[in-house]
Amino acid sequence: MRQLTVYVRRGCHLCTDMTQALERLRQELDFEINTVDIERDPQLVELYTTRVPVLVVDDVEICYYFLEETRLRQHFSSNADYSPD
């Protein structure tokens, strides 16, 4: 099963919107969502600052601020041979 990482910040309404949008697709696209609060890691704060939420799949940044469902589906299609360890 694919692992999606969403970098978030506490109190961020865009972060909530993106995770809710992903939840609606989770079963159809067969993935798990891992949310990471950037405030817990100074390096992540430096990397993402105010550019949250950020969706990362297979070490590829898919989108930020808003879910780009088309890009996510394209990524899954182009990596259709994916098999988890």
Is 27 within the bounds of a domain?
A: yes
- Of residues 82 and 5, more confidently modeled: 5
> What three-state secondary structure class fits 12?
coil
Is 80 within the bounds of a domain?
A: no
- Per the structure block, which two tokens stand in for 32? 């798990």
Quick one: pLDDT at residue 84?
46
pLDDT band for position 85 (cuts 50, 70, 90): very low
**What are 31-76's pLDDT values in tens digits?**
999 999 999 999 999 999 989 999 999 899 999 999 999 999 999 9
For residue 61, give Cα distances in angstroms to 7, 11, 36, 75.
Answer: 11, 22, 14, 10
Quick one: pLDDT at residue 54?
98
Q: Is the pLDDT of residue 17 over 80?
A: yes
Domain that includes residue 18, residue range:
2-68
For residue 46, give the CATH number of its domain: 3.40.30.10
